[in-house]
Every structure is written in structure tokens, then in C-alpha cells.
Amino acid sequence: MDHEPVLLDEALDLLSPKPDGIYVDCTLGGGAHAEALLREIPEGWLYAFDRDAAAISRSRERLRAVSERFTVFNQDFRHLQETLREAGITRVDGVLYDLGVSSFHFDEPQRGFSYRHDAPLDMRMDQRASKTAREVVNTYKENDLKRILFQYGEERFAPRIAKAIVEARKEAPIETTAELVDIVRKALPAKVVHSKGHPARRTFQAIRIEVNEELDALQSSLEQAIELVRPQGRIVVISFHSLEDRIVKRAFKSAATVDHPAELPTMPKTTPTHRRLNRKVIRPTDAEIANNSRASSAKLRALERLRE
């Protein structure tokens, strides 16, 4: 599996791993970030999460080549605290997120993530889950389709695409990625179809996020991570689209802010429990983008816990 890590050096620098620390990689994926982190903690322990059993199977051997001091959970990171608590862990020194979809998901056409290959409409990161892209496309009401296309895909032609999907499925169920791409193409103005970028990109992103409940899971997991890290512990997040970054930015800002009720103007000042390590988002260098086009949209934010 080819997996080129994005913002690896910057992430490790901000995470500042201690050799004997306890760290969590919430998004194991191809294992590149986890492997690098594991090398930095020879006396510590790494806990890794991934919903995809195939990703775990592939990455486990990569980690074993470095150390045996790790545990991998085939689990959604929204269950971060509960899963770690069951393993006897209530505090950690750092948490890392490398969000988005792993490259091998797109490289395996049968998973249905790619609009460039014809495959069954699936898009499940966790093959044990029941909801698929086929269910979303064929059973959601037009208004619900329009909502997720607007909200998760930031697709300005959401009404046209939603209507086209509903009309098409009246004739027969929509079964494959190629069928969906064809419907989207026909729904869009010609100038949009022929403009830069694939015309179905936003639609596929929106449906994938809905199938996997990605944004709700991220919000929940971040709230737990903020509580999990011990003083001087850090959380580092690499995101790849504005919806993810917005959630991260707001969560970190909230954690690093002390709210004083307006009706108590003389309330003693207190310091926040956390601080943002970078108020301005960190982006990849031109050299990294030239070497790895996937890095072009990456954004990194980091948070440190100051006190209990």
C-alpha cells in the first residue's frame, strides 16, 4: 500500500512526543504517521484507531517492523474515551488525527469511493456498518439529498443534482458509481462539467461523509481528546477540507477560551485549561505539494493542555 504522509514533520514537531509517553493515532489508515510516531516513543505505547479492518491488517505489519509497543482498535474514533478506558487508559500524552480518506480507499474501486472507477455504490469505511451510498442515493428524500449536498459537499448545484437523482431512481435503482457520475454530469451546466476538477467530486464527498457520519464523529472525538490529554499533552489535527477544519478550529478555540458571565464583571480572572499552539493554520510547503498533490488542501492545527 502506497501512503505518502502529509505534514509529517510538522505534526511530530508539534506533538513533541516523549520517549516514554502514551499516544493515540485516531486515524491509522496507511500507518505512515503511526510508524513515525512509534519510532519516537521507544519506551512508550501507541494506541491506534481505524474503522477499516483492511487498513488495520495492512498497517499492523508496518508497525511491527518498528516495535511491538502498540495496540490497534478496529473502532470508530468517536468511541475514543470508552475504548481506552476499557484498556485501562484514562490519560494520554498526545492525540493525532490525519483526517480524510486513505489513498488506498480510492485505489480499491470495489469500495465505491472513487468517481473515476465503476463500482457498486458503497463508500463504507467500516464494512460492518449497514448504511451504504446506495441506500443514501436511493432512499433519501429530495430535500435530504439537497441538504447533504449543500452541507457536506458545499455543492452550489445541490437542488439540480438532488432532483436529477430522484428522477433517475424512479426508472430503476441507482446501483453504481458510474451511474451516479452520469446523473451528476447531466444535471450540471455544460460550463461546469468542462471546468477544472471532476464534476462529481463534491457529490461523492457529501455522500461519503453522510454514509460514515464523519463530521459528527470528529466533533465527538475531539471533545473527548481535549479531556483525555494530561497537562502538557497535545492534540494535533491534519484536515483536508473546510468542513473538518472549521470543526477543529472551533473546538480548539473553545477549549482555549475562558468565558466570564456578563452578569459577573468582577469575577476573578482565570487562565484557560488549554492553549492553541498555532492560531494561524499550518500548510504544506510548495515542495511537499509538488511531491504529493494530496497535500495541497491540508491544514494543521494543534492544541496543548495547560492544567487540569
Domain co-membership, 121 together with 204: yes
Within-domain flag for 146: yes
Q: Between β-strands 92-98 and 70-73, what pairing exists: parallel, antiparallel or unpaired? A: unpaired
Domain boundary residue, one of 182, 212, 242: 212
Query: Do 236 and 207 fall within a single domain?
Result: no
Which residue shows C-alpha cell 480499491?
108
93 CB contacts (<8 Å, ≥6 apart)? 17, 18, 21, 22, 23, 44, 229, 230, 232, 233, 234
Residue in 16, 69, 76 with CA at minimum distance from that of residue 50:
76
- What CATH number has the domain bearing residue 51? 3.40.50.150
Q: Is residue 3 part of a domain?
A: no
* Mean pLDDT of the 257-274 span: 68
Single out the residue of 143, 249, 245, 240 nearest to residue 201, CA to CA: 240
The tally of domains found in the chain comes to 2
Q: Alpha-carbon distance 289 to 298, whole Å?
A: 9
Give the three cell numbers for residue 306: 495547560
Question: Could you tell me if 24 and 39 lie in one domain?
Answer: yes
pTM: predicted TM-score of the whole model, two decimal places:
0.91
State yes or no: pLDDT of 261 exceeds 90: no
293 CB-near residues (< 8 Å, 6+ apart): none
Q: What is the pLDDT of residues 189-223, one digit of tens each?
A: 999 998 888 999 999 999 999 999 999 999 999 99
- Give the span between the Cα atoms of 55 and 1, in whole angstroms: 9
Give residue-wise pLDDT tens across range 269-303.
678 899 999 989 999 999 999 998 888 999 999 99
* 95, 96, 99, 101 alpha-carbon torsion, rounded to 10°: -110
Residue 265, pLDDT score: 58
194 and 229 share a domain?
no
User: Which of 197, 212, 227 represents a domain boundary (last residue)?
Assistant: 212
Does residue 262 carry a pLDDT above 80?
no
Separation of alpha carbons 191 and 228, rounded Å? 49
Categorize the per-residue pLDDT at 2 as very low, low, confident or very high, splitting at 50, 70 and 90.
Answer: low
Only one residue has cell 463530521, namely 215
Residue range of the domain that includes 155? 117-212
Query: Can you spell out the DSSP letters for 75-87?
Result: S-GGGHHHHHHHT
CATH number at residue 175: 1.10.150.170
User: Is pLDDT at 266 greater than 60 in this prediction?
Assistant: no
pLDDT, tens only, 58-107: 999 999 999 999 999 999 999 999 999 999 999 999 999 999 776 656 66
pLDDT at residue 130 is higher than 70: yes
For 122-148, what is the mean pLDDT? 96
Write out pLDDT tens, residues 16-72: 999 999 999 999 999 999 999 999 999 999 999 999 998 899 999 999 999 999 999
pLDDT at 46: 98
| pLDDT confidence of residue 292 | 86
Q: Which helix (H) or strand (E) holds 129?
A: none
57, 138: one domain: no
d(CA 300, CA 308) in angstroms, rounded, equals: 25
**pLDDT value for 1:** 43
State how far the Cα of 274 lies from the Cα of 74, in Å rounded to an integer.
30
| End position of a domain, from candidates 163, 182, 212 | 212
pLDDT at 153: 95
d(CA 94, CA 261): 31
